Structure 1
Amino acid sequence: MKRASPDQERRNAERQDFLVTCGWQTAQVMPLVDDASARRYFRLERRHDTALLMDFPPTATHVDPHGIHDNPERPASVSPVLQTTNLFKQAGWRVPEIYQADEKRGLVLIEDFGDITFTEALMGSAMLDGTTQDALYLRAIEQLITLHRFCDGGGMNDCGLVRYGPENLRRMLASFKNDYLPLVIRDAAKRDAASTAFDQLLETVLPLCWQVGEVIIHRDYHVDNLMLVENGEGGDDCGIIDFQDAAIAPRPYDLASLLRDVRHDIGPDLEARMKEFYLAAFPDIDRSDFETAYLATSMVRNFRILGRFGWLAIKAGKTRYFDYIPRCWEMILRGAADNLPALQDWVDAHIPADARTAPALAKTRNLSGKEAQS
């Protein structure tokens, strides 16, 4: 067995000390599968009780989620978890209770929602009471309607969240130019031309994201972060997790995140039905303006995701997300020819169809000097 490094041993000791403080020192500790962030989660089992331990050490490198800083790599912090938990509870969402937290050491003990994500239910392995794909997505849309009504009723006032403007989105998309374009446009002159034209595209498209106003957003609202949670009354609630990067942003942001998720393409028919269900709850929203804002916001999200895929490959050697790249481009272009022709023109001019696939990652040096390769 590989021996833990001194830093790992120190962090293990800090976690155990925190569990002693919480009264969970005798619990069985099981690590959960990591994701694309520096956060780690552990499931704790103590007799008939369970809880989750979030481990987000302040020494970890965290990518600024909000486009506030030109240098996106920031110190990690669990403070946003504590702030947004209270906010979303006020908004009427079912979010995990926080049992105890040590902000200084980056450790939080939270309620365990179990394992039944909407993703699991959609795969059929955990389908309950004949639940259908439509029914699950309707529940997800209902939660957005609840949140947006809270916002329209004054819930955004003094909430303390970052408020996005076009410059925030522009900074988020810098990674697309810096970390993704070099993987698919090897020629430096062509890449510079594509980057310059991309900046011009953003001048046109980014303001369109706000055509139907702004709301509080979860920012990673998709079926992997939605869960079926027993409510003690014989049914289940829609539990919502991983919302610590919440902000105030264009209204369609979370809707586009849910309905144009590169990991779970639901197709244009279900997408259209879910948008219609949402819009029926807000009859004052202009449909044409909404569609333009929705497509513009979807463009931003998916270009940002491509940049993240490039960053993870180059800096962390994680290339497993490359499988989603073709679908990401499909999401970017769906409806663009009719509603955002400038976007369609940029892609056609600079990213030919054969470049919208998983790139071959040449050997590259990351910031620490280590080599990453596919």
Structure 2
Amino acid sequence: MAGMVLERFLADEAATARLGEDLAMSLRPGDVLALKGDLGAGKSSLARALIRAMAEDAGLDVPSPTFTLVQSYEARVPVHHFDLYRLSAASELDELGFDEALAQGAALVEWPERAGPYLPETSVLIELALQGEGRLARLSGQGAAFERAARSLAMRDFLDEAGWGDAQRRYFVGDASARSYEVVSLAGLPPRVLMNSPRLVLGPPVRDGKPYAAIAHSAQSVTAFVAIDKALLAAGVSVPQIHAEDLDQGFLLLEHLGAEGFLGSDGQPVAERYAAAAELLAMMHGKAWPARMQAAPGIFHDVPPFDRDAMMIEADLLVDWYVPMLTGGPASDTLRAGYHREWNAVLDRLRDREYTLMLRDFHSPNIIWRGDRSGHDRLGIVDIQDALIGPSAYDVASLAMDARVTVSPDIEKHTLDAYIAARHAAGGFDEEAFVETYAIMAAQRNSKILGIFVRLEKRDGKPYYLKHLPRIRDYLRRALAHPALAGLRDFYVAHGLLEERPL
């Protein structure tokens, strides 16, 4: 098989199990791992470790599929373990449902040479051979699956350099970007979080020769996270301490802030928690933040501004994605021009408003509740790398109109009241200007989110985001009720942008 080659010496069964974990962390639907080696070379041991890591069950019974030919396991990604030793002809893979298995899961294939042309060219070949007291694993392949496997092995090397080479790795969470997170554990120590943050792929130019991410000022490397994290930590915000970092590769070993989500046990908003988060924002907005933050000696991150170009290209997501879903075709030039005209008139009102460090996605998925602590330390904050210098009201709108859970008007008001009271207590707060800016930023953010959630379904094949659309429309109606947004509201109403639609 042409492509890249990696080798790992596996000194013992524990090392083989760790390689299984490393491969499990990289696995995605459609991947094929082809396990090759003589009898006794360790193919079954490697497969067993991988499947147990995927199922997050260290005691899971993983029998050899020698006689059944295939054994399937429910996991984060369904795993189908094929043993083709007794296969009479490659065509029998049709009867075993090989293509169907890859359509909704990943496959481990022992004796892959018997699969013939059925084995995809993108398969990752793992050859195991006895070497001295241990084994040599040789990985080869080409394409995304091999690149993910190679990156996962590099993450193990990073852990090793940090003194965590023997740690157990378990998938924690991914987000809408390419970033992912794992929980890593060593006996006798608190667990930590392993952050995998590859450099951002910018994509094609969309306006003035620039890609969307550049105009919207999305973080392009892990340096942004490190710099902002250190600044927030120094200011008394409970963000993760960084125990080890590799800025070039985009790996961080972080403090695990806790396991309890921000929402209540029933998955619903808790008014007191939202008020506490609002008070944390009030504390942050009372501080002066530098636009240049240090990530490491001689390495700095310039926090971008949330400028008009960024605001508009985000708001345009509604026209680019949501409107075509409603109408069945692209937005007309007339609609687009009117939309820009009304939005530019609204954004003119932000002149001379209060700007500060704006975390951008300050909402329930990115807040950890730590009820055993006191004050602002009750709130653990993650996902900070895309912070900008922008209107202080934006993060309050992100919190009080939480995109992932329905915040009632009463809890929204309770959250706003807590923020406003804390700002007044600190002195020098213009409440009227804040309330208007809050409405503008809430309208901008929820317009953007309507477009993003449709894009995630249409472009990225993630239909479960559409269930949030009725909530986002409701938030948008609330924001547009402010008198300063009357013209924009009339435009949305005239074009049916606030109407409830069947999914």
Shorter-chain TM band: 0.7 to 0.9
Q: 1:73 to 1:148 in 2, by over 3 A?
A: closer
Shift of 1:78: 0.9
1:148 to 271, 279, 285: 285
CA deviation profile, 1:97-127 (whole Å, cap 9, x unmatched): 1111111111111111121121255638xxx
Q: Which structure's residues are more often strand, by fraction?
A: 2
Question: What's the counterpart of residue 56 of structure 1?
Answer: 197
Q: 1:89 to 1:53 in 2, by over 3 A?
A: same
Contact 2:323 2:497 in 1 (8 A): no
Count how many residue pairs are aligned between Structure 1 and Structure 2.
Answer: 343
Question: In terms of mean alpha carbon deviation, does 343-352 or 240-249 score higher?
Answer: 343-352
Contact 1:62 1:73 in 2 (8 A): yes
Question: What's the counterpart of residue 322 of structure 1?
Answer: 466
Distance in 1, matches of 2:253 and 2:291, equals 29
Question: Structure 2: any 5+ residue segments left out of the alignment?
Answer: 1-79, 81-106, 109-123, 125-144, 294-301
Distance in 2, matches of 1:68 and 1:26, equals 49
Aligned AA for 1:177?
A: V
Question: What's the counterpart of residue 257 of structure 1?
Answer: 398
Distance in 1, matches of 2:265 and 2:290, equals 32
1:32 to 154, 160, 172: 172
Task: Tell me whether 1:110 sits opposite 2:244 in the alignment.
Answer: no
Shift of 1:298: 0.3
Task: Tell me whether 1:268 sits opposite 2:409 in the alignment.
Answer: yes
Task: Tell me whether 1:212 sits opposite 2:356 in the alignment.
Answer: no
CA deviation profile, 1:166-213 (whole Å, cap 9, x unmatched): 22211222332223222112244x633322211111111123345631
Contact 1:56 1:76 in 2 (8 A): no
Distance in 1, matches of 2:315 and 2:232, equals 27
Contact 2:477 2:498 in 1 (8 A): no
Contact 1:39 1:55 in 2 (8 A): yes
Question: Structure 1: any 5+ residue segments left out of the alignment?
Answer: 125-131, 360-374
Question: In terms of mean alpha carbon deviation, does 315-324 or 222-231 score higher?
Answer: 222-231
CA deviation profile, 1:239-283 (whole Å, cap 9, x unmatched): 111111111101100000000112222222222232222222333
SS at match of 1:110: strand
Question: What's the counterpart of residue 183 of structure 1?
Answer: 325
Question: In terms of mean alpha carbon deviation, does 29-38 or 344-353 score higher?
Answer: 344-353
1:292 to 428, 436, 439: 436
Question: In terms of mean alpha carbon deviation, does 71-80 or 313-322 score higher?
Answer: 71-80
SS at match of 1:239: strand
Distance in 2, matches of 1:352 and 1:238, equals 36
Distance in 2, matches of 1:313 and 1:7, equals 26
Matches within 5 A, 1:208-357: 208-210=349-351, 212-229=353-370, 237-283=378-424, 284-339=428-483, 340-351=485-496, 354=499, 356-357=500-501
Distance in 2, matches of 1:174 and 1:335, equals 17
Question: What's the counterpart of residue 227 of structure 2?
Answer: 83
Question: What's the counterpart of residue 11 of structure 1?
Answer: 151
Task: Tell me whether 1:164 sits opposite 2:322 in the alignment.
Answer: no
Which structure: larger Rg?
Answer: 2
Distance in 2, matches of 1:197 and 1:207, equals 16
Distance in 1, matches of 2:227 and 2:377, equals 25
SS at match of 1:244: coil
Shift of 1:73: 4.5
Aligned AA for 2:287?
A: F
Relative CO higher for 1 or 2, CA cutoff 8 Å, sep ≥ 6?
1
Contact 1:68 1:168 in 2 (8 A): no
Q: Taking structure 2 as the reference length, what is the TM-score of the superposition?
A: 0.63
Shift of 1:57: 2.1
Contact 1:57 1:106 in 2 (8 A): yes
Question: What's the counterpart of residue 369 of structure 1?
Answer: none
Q: 1:158 to 1:32 in 2, by over 3 A?
A: closer
Distance in 1, matches of 2:175 and 2:291, equals 32
SS at match of 2:368: strand
Aligned AA for 1:171?
A: I
Contact 2:308 2:347 in 1 (8 A): yes
Identical positions, percent: 26
Contact 1:215 1:250 in 2 (8 A): yes
Distance in 2, matches of 1:72 and 1:181, equals 19
CA deviation profile, 1:128-186 (whole Å, cap 9, x unmatched): xxxx92321221012111101113xxx33644311222222112223322232221122
Q: Which structure's residues are more often helix, by fraction?
A: 1
Contact 1:209 1:297 in 2 (8 A): no
Aligned AA for 1:85?
A: D
- Alpha-carbon RMSD: 2.8
Aligned AA for 1:136?
A: R
Question: What's the counterpart of residue 316 of structure 2?
Answer: 174
Q: 1:161 to 1:231 in 2, by over 3 A?
A: farther
Q: Taking structure 1 as the reference length, what is the TM-score of the superposition?
A: 0.83
Distance in 2, matches of 1:236 and 1:250, equals 24
SS at match of 1:212: coil
